[in-house]
Structure 1
Amino acid sequence: MSSRPNIIFIVADDLGYADLGCYGARAAGFGPVSPTLDALAAGGLRLTQGYSNSPVCSPTRFALMTARYQYRLRGAAEEPINSQSRGSTTLGLPPEHPTLPSLLRGAGYRTALMGKWHLGYPPAFGPLRSGYEEFFGPMSGGVDYFTHCSSSGQHDLYLGAQEQPQDGYLTDLITEHALDYVARMAPGAKAGTPFFLSLHYTAPHWPWETRDDQALAPQLHRHLFHLHGGSIHSYRRMIHHMDEGIGRLMALLAQHGLTRDTLLVFTSDNGGERFSDNWPLVGGKMDLTEGGIRVPWIAHWPAVIAPGGVSAQTCMTMDWSATLLDAATVAPDADYPLDGKSLMPLLRDATTWYGPALFWRMNHRGQRAMRQGAWKYLRVDGHDYLFDLSQDERERANQAAIDPERLSAMRAAWERWNAGMPAIPQDATVSLGYSTRDMPQR
């Protein structure tokens, strides 16, 4: 077996901070919501202060792929990639840009993406043009789980570079393709050729459809962006379907003797949507309050990570991409230096430390944020806030008037960081269909 691990990077879609049992979710009527992920957390490392690079889907995925701040690329400005972006040659991940899969592939890894892409449409963009050898899934941000049609009504399910209609519930189809891939890669992995599998579920992203809702799919699809459908019960069942698939994947790894030497990382692309549980955080998707950007992070790698680890280490999506490169002993491209910082020391020893300052920005409501140590600077609708998250995770007690010097210093640090990033184009907007919830009030 190669000393380099197999790598599986699992990304849920719009999963809230407290939607998993190991993050405080209560049992549902059918039992625990996420028993597989809870077991992985117990057998590995769980982070309590980890973040996504953005409170919306596409920009976080740019950061995941490049291990750099998404603001460096035009296609990642806000959330411009939707069904109207088909045919665009600017709104997407440039094929010439080094990526996590292309760097791993160049170092001898086999690579595949099973699940959501959302980084630009063919022919200008696509997974096979950005380092993946194999791909199955939708190109867009959200599709019906049964018809596999996007919000525009266009069928959106691909196998490789070709549109590929398939029958079935999308979460289960993604799982099946992931299982097939691992089964095919297992002999090579045992012989010294590791694999990198991006497993990007669309669950629990709208539409709110469980495995048992196929008869309702045509009606639900007419309201793909609907505000009046779904329930917390269907939402939690969708999470459970994903968890079941991950359980099947872990069983397959064990069957092939690959568990010990496989690094598995699980997270969400942003904070939860309207049916999620973000307790004790406020806000959700599209917000730079904690509920929009703080997400679950679980790492499992028995050869390196001791079981039962819990850490308050601060980090972002791009840090984990840098970590995976480090774990595989793969150097970044010298022309594209990483913004992400490797967390390999944390994987070896779950001792918490505060890393570099973290930064965010959005045109939507003029939002900006910075996390440095226990402190957070936030601007919403032109108003500045300062929160001590060690005492106030709900961001209710504004310390701006009490500690003006700290606020001034953090605001200046954000301005310096922002000056080093390309400006957000004025035509960059967020996609429709989301609601902003519980933002701080003046």
Structure 2
Amino acid sequence: MNNRSATSRRQVLAATAAAPLALLARAKEARAAASPPNILFILADDFGYADLSCYGRPDYTTPNMDRLANEGVKFLQAYANSAVCTASRVALITGRYQYRLPVGLEEPLTGRNVGIPPGHPTLPSLLQKAGYGTTLIGKWHLGPLPDYGPLKSGYDHFWGFRGGGLDYFTHKSGGANTNTDDLWDDDVKIHQNGYLTDLLAEQAIKSINGYVKQRKPFFISLHFNAPHWPWEGPGDEAVAQTLTNLGAFDAGTIKTYARMVGEMDLQVGRVLKALDSAGAARNTIVVFTSDNGGERFSDTWPFTGKKTDLLEGGLRIPAMMRWPGHIKPRSTTQQIAIHMDWLPTLLAAAGAGPDPAYPSDGINLLPVLTENSPVAHRRLYWRYRQNAQQAVRDGDMKYLKINDNTFLFNVVDDPLERANLKDHQPDVYKRLLEDYNEWQATMLPLDPAASTYGFHPDQLADHYSPQPVPPPAAGRGRGPATER
């Protein structure tokens, strides 16, 4: 046999052997394309707009979370439904303004027995009806047992904590010597050693692998407590033993904050790798965002304000979405988006929709993200009881009220909210104020018994209260005639 014949025969045998493998691969891809997408929703806690390096944070890098922007879309005008956690989470899980439910009036929920009513349609319950397995890993903060909980609101499984904040090592909501343990596996309280950010990621990896093994589409809510206080990096277990007030204002540094974010980035990388290793990444939507604007060590540039403020820094958040084959990699969008948009968006991706009796106040973002549709005009509303705050965003314009002071800003041209245009554009100011009052009449009224809070001058130095300036003593200082 000559060399040409031998080579030809080997090629035929190789092609024959490879054909079943190629058919198997194509069949696997076809099944994945025909099945509904998995959904992994990653939520950071008190994470500022510019706290990712892909959004401009200069003093550390976040390569794993940045990967979602490199492989998907980065939102440039994403908003939280509230400047504090419980209220935003109500909007996220219901797809509606939080002010439609009593629990949504809590800023945040602290001790009252209110929560998401069992039976109220939620994003997990609607996906559950569509055949998804649903798991919450991390923070709940939407109502206490026995009346409320993740298992009563559409999640099949829960591994995490129920309150608003937890020590990263002791897993207590109070000091190390208090009886405030708050780590749960479903409705059973548990004790487990480890840094909480790492433990949550490990549970997410186990959940992914379990669902893939079952060949069941999944919705996993991975709600980190990071980088919420207490200010503890992965090597700070000794610090945890000394704390008596987890949110104390005599603790924390930017370097500690960077280590907390760095560990969350590392764990997000592990979770994304688990999707890759399980062969599930291509048919999984991954969303990363925050519950509200950043807290004291966050970077909210180019905005002013922080958590609890209806200034842009308290509301603007990072948001990224990856869906291979549907969303163009390394893309950005100027679409104004808000937490309550995720319910109609993710339900549409899953081939489902909101409950007609509880229509969403948000919009389906998929036409803009996957079909190159024009950006949709938005008019969004906020209120916050502390400092009597109100806000409306309509196109580029924003009405803002803080106590007795009112403003009109073009937040596209003036993201720092410095140039008050209400006297220059009185018609716009009047229209937005009227719009706010009409919208407000459709929501639950303010509840004086609900929790609310903000920062005070004795806590944060940049929250000073201006006082009258006394006149200079006789013969001291410069009078008008000597001023230069």
Give TM-score, length-normalised by structure 2: 0.86
* TM-aligned CA deviation for residue 416 of structure 1: 0.7
Structure 2 CA distance for aligned equivalents of residues 52 and 350 of structure 1: 24
**8 Å CA contact retained: 1:309, 1:350:** no
Structure 1 residues 350 and 288, CA gap change in structure 2 (3 angstroms):
farther
**8 Å CA contact retained: 2:87, 2:108:** no
Structure 2 CA distance for aligned equivalents of residues 78 and 351 of structure 1: 36
* TM-aligned CA deviation for residue 151 of structure 1: 3.2
Equivalent of 2:120 in 82, 90, 97:
97
2:305 matched to which residue of 1?
A: 283
* TM-aligned CA deviation for residue 347 of structure 1: 1.9
Equivalent of 1:375 in 358, 377, 397:
397
**8 Å CA contact retained: 1:271, 1:295:** yes
Runs of at least 4 residues off by over 2 Å: 349-352, 431-442
1:301 matched to which residue of 2?
A: 323
* TM-aligned CA deviation for residue 335 of structure 1: 1.4
1:160 matched to which residue of 2?
A: 186
Q: Which runs of 5+ in 1 are unaligned?
A: none
Q: Secondary structure at the match of 1:409?
A: helix
* TM-aligned CA deviation for residue 422 of structure 1: 1.1
Matched, 1:211 2:250: no
* TM-aligned CA deviation for residue 334 of structure 1: 1.6
Structure 2 CA distance for aligned equivalents of residues 177 and 437 of structure 1: 39
Q: Which runs of 5+ in 2 are unaligned?
A: 1-31, 467-484
2:153 matched to which residue of 1?
A: 130
Structure 1 residues 371 and 297, CA gap change in structure 2 (3 angstroms):
same
Instruction: Give the letter for the 2:53 counterpart.
Output: G
Structure 2 CA distance for aligned equivalents of residues 410 and 440 of structure 1: 29
2:408 matched to which residue of 1?
A: 386
Structure 2 CA distance for aligned equivalents of residues 421 and 254 of structure 1: 44
Matched, 1:67 2:98: no
Equivalent of 2:48 in 16, 20, 29:
16
Structure 2 CA distance for aligned equivalents of residues 183 and 433 of structure 1: 42
CA offsets 1:261-297 (integer angstroms, 9 cap, x no match): 1001110000000000001100000000000000001
* TM-aligned CA deviation for residue 356 of structure 1: 2.5
Structure 1 residues 122 and 431, CA gap change in structure 2 (3 angstroms):
farther
Instruction: Give the letter for the 1:109 counterpart.
Output: Y
1:235 matched to which residue of 2?
A: 257
Matched, 1:81 2:109: yes
Structure 2 CA distance for aligned equivalents of residues 233 and 51 of structure 1: 27
Structure 2 CA distance for aligned equivalents of residues 423 and 261 of structure 1: 43
**8 Å CA contact retained: 2:307, 2:314:** yes
Q: Secondary structure at the match of 1:286?
A: coil
Instruction: Give the letter for the 2:207 counterpart.
Output: Y
2:246 matched to which residue of 1?
A: 224
CA offsets 1:301-340 (integer angstroms, 9 cap, x no match): 1121110111111011000122111111112112111111
Q: Secondary structure at the match of 2:337?
A: coil
Structure 1 CA distance for aligned equivalents of residues 190 and 248 of structure 2: 27
Matched, 1:37 2:61: no
Which residues of 2 match residues 262-281 of structure 1 at below 5 A? 262-281=284-303
Q: Which moved more, 1:67-76 or 1:342-351?
A: 342-351
1:25 matched to which residue of 2?
A: 57
Q: Secondary structure at the match of 2:78?
A: coil
Equivalent of 1:58 in 78, 86, 95:
86
Structure 2 CA distance for aligned equivalents of residues 418 and 439 of structure 1: 28
1:180 matched to which residue of 2?
A: 206
Equivalent of 1:201 in 204, 224, 235:
224
Give TM-score, length-normalised by structure 1: 0.94
Structure 1 residues 208 and 423, CA gap change in structure 2 (3 angstroms):
same
Q: CA RMSD in A?
A: 1.8
Instruction: Give the letter for the 1:147 counterpart.
Output: T
Matched, 1:330 2:352: yes
Matched, 1:248 2:276: no
Structure 1 residues 11 and 250, CA gap change in structure 2 (3 angstroms):
same
Q: Secondary structure at the match of 1:260?
A: helix
Instruction: Give the letter for the 1:57 counterpart.
Output: C
Structure 1 CA distance for aligned equivalents of residues 218 and 325 of structure 2: 16
Structure 1 CA distance for aligned equivalents of residues 249 and 344 of structure 2: 37
Structure 1 residues 353 and 324, CA gap change in structure 2 (3 angstroms):
same
Instruction: Give the letter for the 2:388 counterpart.
Output: G
- The structure having more radius of gyration, on CA atoms, is 2
* TM-aligned CA deviation for residue 188 of structure 1: 3.1
**8 Å CA contact retained: 1:271, 1:285:** yes
CA offsets 1:332-352 (integer angstroms, 9 cap, x no match): 112111111110112204566
1:143 matched to which residue of 2?
A: 166
Structure 2 CA distance for aligned equivalents of residues 433 and 371 of structure 1: 24
CA offsets 1:172-199 (integer angstroms, 9 cap, x no match): 010010010001111334xxx3100000
Instruction: Give the letter for the 2:195 counterpart.
Output: Y
**8 Å CA contact retained: 2:41, 2:286:** yes
Q: Secondary structure at the match of 1:313?
A: coil
* TM-aligned CA deviation for residue 384 of structure 1: 1.1
**8 Å CA contact retained: 1:47, 1:296:** yes
Q: Secondary structure at the match of 1:37?
A: helix
Equivalent of 1:359 in 362, 373, 381:
381
Q: Secondary structure at the match of 2:409?
A: strand
* TM-aligned CA deviation for residue 27 of structure 1: 3.6
CA offsets 1:115-168 (integer angstroms, 9 cap, x no match): 000001111001011110111111000010111111374110000111111111
**8 Å CA contact retained: 1:311, 1:352:** no
* TM-aligned CA deviation for residue 430 of structure 1: 1.6
Equivalent of 2:420 in 391, 398, 417:
398
Structure 1 residues 351 and 308, CA gap change in structure 2 (3 angstroms):
farther
Q: Secondary structure at the match of 2:136?
A: strand
* TM-aligned CA deviation for residue 3 of structure 1: 3.1
Instruction: Give the letter for the 2:143 counterpart.
Output: G
